Structure 1
Amino acid sequence: MSDLPLLGAEEEFHVVDLETRRSAPEVDALLAQLDGAEFAPELQRSLVETNTPVCAGLDELRQHLQRLRGTLEGVAQPLGLGVVAAGTVPLVAPTGDDISAGARYERMQHEYQLLVREQHICGAQVHVDVPDRDIAVQVVRRVAPYLPTLLAISASSPYWRGRDTGYASYRSMVWSRWPTAGPPGDVETAADYDAMVAELIASGTISDPGMVYFDIRPSAHLPTVELRVCDACPQVDDVVLIAGLFRALVGRAREDLDAGLPIPAPRHELLRAASWRAARSGLEGDLVDLSPDPRTMPQLVSPPLLVGQLVAYLRPQLEELGDWEQVLELSEATMARGSAAAGQRRAFGRRGELTDVVDSLLAVTQGRTPAYEPHPARPVTSELLGAYHPTSFDEAVDPNGTVLPHYGWMFRALDRMGPRGMVAAESVLRTEQRARGVTFRVGDEPDRLFPLDLVPRIVTADDWAGLTVGLTQRVRALEAFVRDVYGERRHTSSRGGAEQHGRIVADGVVPVAVVDDAPGWSRLGKLVPEDAVRIAVAGIDLVRDRADHWLVLEDNLRVPSGIGYSITSRRLIRSVMPDLEAPAGVVGLESVPGKLRAALLSATQLDEPGHDEVALLTVGPSDSAFYEHSLLAERMGIPVVTPRDLQVTDDGVYLVEAGGRRRLSALYRRLDERTLLTATGSDQRLIGRAMCNAVARGKVALLNALGNGVADDKLVYAYVPQMISYYLGEEPVLDNVPTYPCVDPDRREEVLDRLDELVLKPVDGYGGQGIVIGPHAERGELDDVAEAIRVNPAGWVAQDLVSLSTHPTFSGEKLEPRAVDLRAFVLQSRWGPEPTVEVLPAALSRVAPAGSMIVNSSRGGGAKDTWVLR
């Protein structure tokens, strides 16, 4: 592109009555006071259009957009009117047939009937210069595959005539009914295009070229390309972002044309399907990636990933235009904010009033933060909860059966679906899971679908802030403990060798037997370099027994699973029910794989070549969580490897591939260390000892570190509060469940006396195996546990029975209260002398079966999408 192309924009606005918040057919009163060159009527008398001058850059475009919006408001307000930039306005005047004057509009009303009367929709259009109309036609075809993404960015029309449509852009659904709407025609020259238009006019379908309403088209009278697919956008910045991306797409298309590259040819039906998907979910559900590579099947991709790829793809053009930094910043802000449709649903969720939505749109259109009247949240009752009777603390419903305020919008949306709608959504969910292979395995059983519930769980911003502090503190103390017990040692071990214990044992804070008898203690833990981060990824299980009280149930420090399932749960639920949106916004999960990859890279020597060659180490498809392994590796952009793919030499660990081998600097370990020790490498030799030596010599980082199990069994758990006090000099922020180590004689006698009151857990148990819940157990079962405790007291702990909170869960017919816990994930990175700790928003809620308090999937439990609010 030798000369930077000029651009301009047209925006359509709804005129609303400030008292009723309904659309008002009063555009003539506005236009009487406005300059006709920049303001014009539309088909409906409740709509007005603005036209910017031709602009050289995005900053100039933004200034004109803001000026024109401000001018409109300045004229409208004294008349008791307001202007709204959105695809639709929620409240429409009853008549709906106030058509603007003029022969063209009258002819359209006669020809198209209801289509005209229902044309209460507004779009945003962008024009970009091209040298001539032949190039314009070529550009149109080459840009078309990217238009659904731009539609998703603009999506701002969830409400239609007082109802939530379930779409993010219902405007595009209304618009698509016009006979010439949709993807552009299959033509390659201006002459072909003009002939097509002439045929449409001759058919009587349209009366003039201006009625060709393709999503993108050549101008009927100027050498420009017009983008027409987008909703009107409340945020000026979204219009600027779309304009920046569109101008860069035009530039890229022109370069591809000059290079003689073929026109991308996705099926017309697929273009329509991708646009429908964007209209359905906006930025809150997966979008269709129409890769120009003919060998690539279309696939569903999360919006932040797809938009990020588009921005990166256009970087050369954006840099040439001087737009790179601005478009990147705007795209990141839009992805963090979500679509305007989601914002409107959050406004509605405050009180269930559409007037709140209009007030929000009026403010955002002018760049102001909505200022709501201080109305208390209205109690919500739900038909789906008619027979819902929780017997303990419920996180969504109070004891009177009223939905708590922060769940109000969710249950209004679920009630609109009703039981039949939820059954249908569940069927779609299972279909999506099968298509994406979202499975897990228990033991030797065949793969089964990951059990995901339809009703998301909400963790409020205040709750999450408190959990973040407590989880950070806990992982810091556990890291210090693992380093301590594998570091300098002072006392003779009962194991009989020269092994000794750390400072915390020498100082009498933790008994010798707690470390000696820990099932996860391993001599391999001593091989880890002293300055290495041992707990790169921690999975901490939490429960709550009342609104203001969270407790830690268990620490998982070896190969904790669930991050990938958390990410997948979000994608699945939003794909199946994209109109669900939390009232205060949900923290996105798109950055989680990048954070995980950064934590792995922090363990490498950043100044050495190949430091970023990292991989995920797994057993392979036989692992119950292999789906998660593959997903995380794909999202991190790293390979999935098994021991059979590796060769370990004195120089390091190598990935053996068809084209040779490459050295790996770090491995994200997702297999048990005993499995690693007995595995064979690509040369058929045992790989474990050589791998351990490579770790000890600093040739490769293995994360999580070997030997971490010393800190996460159920006996060591009882002493974590003492670790926090000892290593950090702080009081624990998060409580443990009261725990009684049976190895302590006094505690053991108390446990044996209270077997029918306590929860009995084997120290080396996992996945809920071996747990006996005293109040629910038969006498014979309790007798067997008592005998096991007497024979091996160090192998058992007991805990007070905590009444787990419940959460509404869809049973296939109705909502039922089911016990839930929360697995939170904590990353540690080595960017300085001390590890940097970060709590990920990708938490996984696990759900117990009906009548149970054991949430593990191996015992019939399921999971929920977990919304951490901003």
Structure 2
Amino acid sequence: MGDLPQIGVEEEFHVVDLETRRAAPEVDALLSKLGGDEFAPELQRSLVETNTPPCRTLDDLREHVRRLRGTLEKVAHPLGLGVVAAGTVPLVELSGTDISAGARYEKMQHEYQMLVREQHICGAQVHVDVPDRDMAVQVVRRVAPYLPVLLAISASSPYWRGEDTGYASFRSMVWSRWPTAGPPGAVETAADYDGMVDELIASGTISDPGMVYFDIRPSAHLPTVELRVCDACPDVDDVVLIAGLFRALVRRASEDALAGAPLPTSRHELLRSANWRAARSGLEGDLVDLVGPALMSPALMVGMLVDGLRAHLEAAGDWEQVLELSRQTLARGSAAARQRRAFGLRGELTDVVDALLETTQGRALTGITTPVAPPPPELLAGYRPEAFDEAVSEGGQVLPHYGFMFRVLDRLGPRGMTAAESALRTEQHARGVTFRVGDEPDRLFPLDLVPRIISAEDWAMLSAGLAQRVRALELFLRDVYGPREIVDAGIVPATVVDGAPGRSRIGATLPADAVRVTVAGIDLVRDRADHWFVLEDNLRVPSGIGFSIISRRLVRSVLPDLEPPAGVVGLDDVPRALRAALLSAVPDHDAAGADEVALLSAGPVDPAWFEHTLLADRMQVPVVTPRDLQVTRDGVYLVGPGGRRRLAALYRRLDEQDLLDATGADERPIGRALCRAAAAGTVQLLNAPGNGVADDKLVYSYVPAMIEHYLGEAPLLDNVPTYPCADPDRRAEVLDRLHELVVKPVDGYGGHGILIGPDATRAELADAAAAIRARPEGWVAQDLVQLSTHPTFSGGALHPRAVDLRAFAFQSRVGDRTRVDVAPAALSRVAPAGSLVVNSSRGGGAKDTWVLK
């Protein structure tokens, strides 16, 4: 790959007054105390630039960046000044009189007017050596498609003139007004490039080659390629990460040019659109994958870029460092998101500036406290929760951990929230975020704007309880399809197991050590701050993971400034964790094809088809229907135009009976053949057929006893008190208290058949009593739990609506044992007005759920 090219960085900084935290046009006072070529003025007198020397290693680059930042601070601090590395600084006064001295700057002010007055923005430019200008032009064209990812990593300018812009990089929006800003021109040689520059100068658009402001360009004064698209980065590690990635991109592009590989064909307008999306979203929203084009999560985009550059990073000795820096950056989020979290603590922009000052010098911010925020008068006018509300006290005060959120919502007001709701629907239409109820046409997935918060302490408690429950249910399934020890011990009656609607003969054919529950969806509710119940177990084909992931994307896309101070556990890693759990069930991990997994769906007719396609895309696995499969004696094959390939595992997302009735690629019934393949171990069918014996509403009442029997532990999470109507004594109690209980069919799902006694009419109560007497084994009753409520935006105001929480646990095989991991992709479901039934098929909706770090 030749000699390792050197890299250098130019960084621009805002000079701020340490007392007011406003941009200060005092660069001359700084430069008078700084000598050499490492420091220079910029267009505005509130900006200063540093230049590192050429560096061979990323470690050297980091040290020089830190040294120059430290020198700036050492000189600035005695003058009552500080320096901020960020695309914009929140507090700035625009003036036409604060331009640096010099004929070039004065001419620019005359020619470009407001563009110059608003040039209070800072970027970070990275230079990488190239052998000649012809190669530089080739590299520019070949690297351009990857620049939106680098912009997203650098995004650090959400605030402009005291307002949240809704962008992660508003600097990009200000910068894009220059006539030569944006993706590079479609030239292929140095002569073409120089001719283009001469034409621009002749047109009077620019006055010199240094005013070609493309996102990437051959340097106007150095033998380098220059990256110009990035915001200035508060965190030095982000500068180093971008420099490492850019050098690897330049090296790969140089090799491609020497090999005669064709130039990329991405359309100019699509490149601009991808840059816009990165500026809008940063690392908190989807980015544009130019292959497609399609939207893709930042974690996947960054991961693919790093993986694709591995050979060039390793050759430079940068692989391990860049990989670790990329993971750290994704974990902490963009600098724009961190600024919004700093603002959310007290709603003060001075806190944002303080955080930027400290981060620029690599120090931790201290000393900011979180006060209780008063309720926003408009949105919470008339808000009167009748039960425990998770965000608002009985007296109408916003609870402390929701204070930052309601400060943001208050600034929006009802009109702003209504506009955001409309934008949300537009985003859903664009992404096809729909579901179906019965034979009705697809409808938009009902998503509320106001996220629900789960504290880190609550999540730790819930995770432990859910993992315990899933372990016990797995052992129960293995037992009831095997030795039936729990039945022989008299803990669970034989009639409960044998009469379970979900019991299946197929479940008994699977290998004794098969992982039955790979994905569990457990529904929880709470009736007070410190008391959660398990409402229901879902072990067959639980849905909602994908809707949880897309809900985060959608809400952040329309309310980007809704950032909690503590940060939220990210969801980008959830599909990878799910794929890993699926593949862990494959016994021989080293065998050829052991990593071949597919998501098995009924296809577009399935109500959760959107979720199926989203999860398959994020896991990077195919989504298939039974018609795509062929079963032979030695395995299960995916059949397509390109031939066929053997599958090691199928993530089952269609109902068991639908699978048994399905037709395969050869137009013959395939369901039982698939189940026989699972029994023989030639494919892993996950979740396993027959899981329904463990998740109906009658078996539910015995789960606490299962935990004690199999694990020898006390249950960490309570059940809702449940009364099996098959028991004569319980049945008599249920019939006597029917008006105050919730009655459910044992084999019901989606909220169908539920009777809520206090809300029922006399006729409905009489019908329920008759149904129980006629078939008592088909019914259970539960005490009515007063579900907690949460503010939900509807009709231009916030209203308390009952909520539950569907949490997802992944079970993996680890050697001869299993491990349960609770994913942070929980889905809060919202009941419609006047109801306690949250299912979307009954008019319910959903919320983005924030698990706090």
For the criterion TM > 0.5, the same-fold answer is: yes
Distance in 2 (alpha carbons) for counterparts of 1:684 and 1:272: 47
Give, in whole Å, the separation in 2 of the partners of 1:527 and 1:228.
Answer: 62
* Bigger mean CA deviation after superposition, 793-802 or 606-615: 606-615
Which residue number in structure 2 is paired with residue 759 of structure 1? 742
Amino acid at match of 2:250: V
Amino acid at match of 2:110: H
Residue of structure 2 equivalent to 1:65: 65
Cα distance between partner residues in 2 of 1:118 and 1:817: 44
Counterpart position of 1:445: 440
2:798 is matched with: 815
SS of the aligned residue for 1:383 comes to coil
| Equivalent residues of 2:94, 2:118 under 8 A apart | no
Whole-angstrom CA distance in 2 between matches of 1:105 and 1:360: 31
Give the Cα–Cα distance (whole angstroms) in 1 for the partners of residues 831 and 370 of structure 2: 37
Asked if 1:537 corresponds to 2:532, the answer is no
Say which SS state the counterpart of residue 713 (structure 2) adopts.
coil
The residue number in structure 2 matching 1:238 is 238
Q: 1:301 aligns with which of 296, 299, 313?
A: 296
Aligned to 2:414: 419
Q: How many angstroms apart in 1 are the aligned matches of 2:161 and 2:697?
A: 57
- Does residue 566 (structure 1) correspond to residue 548 (structure 2)? The answer is yes
CA separation in 1, counterparts of 2:67 and 2:762? Answer: 79
Matches within 5 A, 1:287-298: 287-291=287-291, 297-298=292-293
Q: Distance in 1 between matches of 2:113 and 2:674?
A: 75
Q: How does 1:599-618 map to 2 (within 5 A)?
A: 599-604=581-586, 605-618=588-601
- After superposition, the C-alpha distances for 1:341-378 in whole angstroms (9 at most, x for unaligned) are 00000000011111111111111111111112345344
Equivalent pair of 1:536/1:703 in contact (CA under 8 Å): yes
Is the 1:453–1:863 contact (alpha carbons within 8 Å) kept by the matching residues of 2? yes
2:138 matches 1:138: yes
**1:148 maps to amino acid:** P
**2:366 maps to what in 1?**
371
Contact map agreement 1:381 1:401 (CA 8 A) in 2: no
Listed one character per residue, the Cα deviations across residues 815-849 of structure 1 (whole Å, up to 9, x for unaligned) are: 22211111100011111222110001111111111
AA matched with 1:600: L
- The 5 Å alignment of 1:397-546 reads 397-488=392-483, 502-546=484-528
Q: Which runs of 5+ in 2 are unaligned?
A: none
Q: Please say which of residues 659-668 and 564-573 is displaced more in the overlay.
A: 659-668
Q: CA deviation at 1:4?
A: 1.3
What residue is the counterpart of 2:345 in the other structure?
350
1:514-563 Cα offsets, whole Å, 9 max, x none, are 21221112222211211111111100001111111111110001111111
* Structure 1 Cα separation of the partners of residues 188 and 420 of structure 2: 42
Report the CA distance shift for 1:690/1:269 in structure 2 as closer, same or farther (over 3 A).
closer
How far, CA to CA, are the matches of 1:807 and 1:717 in structure 2? 27
Contact residue 472 and residue 826 of structure 1 kept, 8 A: yes
**8 Å contact 1:458–1:866 — kept in the other structure?**
yes
| Distance in 1 of aligned mates of 2:470 and 2:254 | 54
Give, in angstroms, the shift of residue 380 of structure 1: 4.6
Aligned counterpart in structure 1 of residue 716 of structure 2, from 715, 724, 733: 733
Letter in 1 for 2:380: L
1:653 pairs, out of 633, 636, 645, with 636
TM-superposed CA distance for 1:450, in Å, is 1.6
- TM-score normalised per structure 2: 0.97
- Give, in whole Å, the separation in 1 of the partners of 2:384 and 2:631: 59
The whole-number CA distance in structure 2 between the counterparts of 1:657 and 1:796 is: 46
Identity %: 77
* Map of 1:261 onto structure 2: 261
Instruction: Tell whether the 8 Å contact from 2:128 to 2:250 is kept in structure 1 after alignment.
Output: yes
Pairwise CA RMSD of aligned residues?
1.8
Q: Secondary structure at the match of 2:457?
A: helix
Q: Is the 8 A contact 2:94 2:117 kept in 1?
A: no
Q: Secondary structure at the match of 1:385?
A: coil
Shift of residue 432, structure 1, vs aligned partner: 2.7
Structure 1 residues 382 and 219: CA distance shift in structure 2, 3 A? farther
Q: Number of aligned residue pairs: give it.
A: 852
Contact 2:707 2:714 in 1 (8 A): yes
Contact 1:739–1:799 under 8 Å retained in 2: yes
Q: Give matches, 1:667-746, under 5 Å.
A: 667-746=650-729
What is the distance in 1 between the residues matched to 2:429 and 2:199?
A: 46
SS at match of 2:817: coil
Give per-residue Cα distances to partners, 1:380-425, cap 9 Å, x unaligned. Answer: 5253222322221222222232322332333333333333333333
1:796 aligns with 2:779: yes
Cα distance between partner residues in 1 of 2:668 and 2:141? 56
CA contact (8 A) 2:373 2:398 kept: no
Whether the 8 Å CA contact 1:179–1:205 is kept in 2: the answer is yes
Contact 1:356–1:372 (CA under 8 A) maintained in structure 2: no
Listed one character per residue, the Cα deviations across residues 147-182 of structure 1 (whole Å, up to 9, x for unaligned) are 222111111011112111111111111122222222
Q: 1:782 corresponds to which residue? A: 765
Instruction: Give 1:42 shift.
Output: 1.5
Amino acid across the alignment from 1:453: D
- Whether the aligned pair in 2 keeps the contact of 1:479 and 1:534 (CA below 8 Å) is yes
Q: SS of the residue aligned with 1:226?
A: strand
Give the deviation of 1:94 after TM superposition: 7.0
Check conservation: 1:9, 1:51, Cα contact below 8 A. Answer: yes
C-alpha deviation, 1:300, in angstroms: 1.6
**What's the CA shift for 1:128?**
0.9
Hey, what does 1:332 align to over in structure 2?
327
SS in 2 for 1:830: strand
| Residues 379 and 405 in structure 1, CA contact (< 8 A), matched pair in contact too | no
SS of equivalent residue, structure 2 residue 379: helix
Q: Distance in 1 between matches of 2:308 and 2:816?
A: 38
Bigger shift: residues 431-440 or 816-825:
431-440
Would the alpha carbon gap of residues 673 and 375 (structure 1) be closer, same or farther in structure 2, given more than 3 Å must change?
A: closer
Partner residue of 2:649 out of 643, 657, 666: 666
Q: Are 1:538 and 1:826, in contact at CA under 8 Å, matched by a contact in 2? A: yes
Q: 1:252 to 1:377 in 2, by over 3 A?
A: farther
Contact 1:86 1:234 in 2 (8 A): yes
Q: 2:546 is aligned with what amino acid?
A: G
Asked whether the 8 Å contact 1:351–1:377 carries over to 2, the reply is no
Distance in 1 of aligned mates of 2:846 and 2:203: 56
Change (3 A) 1:740 1:349: same
Contact 1:544 1:805 in 2 (8 A): yes
Distance change >3 Å, CA 756–CA 308, structure 1 → 2: same
Q: Is the 8 Å Cα contact of residues 406 and 583 (structure 1) preserved in structure 2?
A: no
In structure 1, the gaps of 5 or more residues are 292-296, 489-501
Partner of 1:860: 843
Question: How far apart, in 1, do the equivalents of 2:202 and 2:617 lie?
Answer: 53
Paired position in structure 2 for 1:250: 250
Q: Residue 133 and residue 482 in structure 1: after superposition, are their counterparts in 2 closer, same or farther (change >3 A)?
A: same
Q: CA deviation at 1:607?
A: 3.2
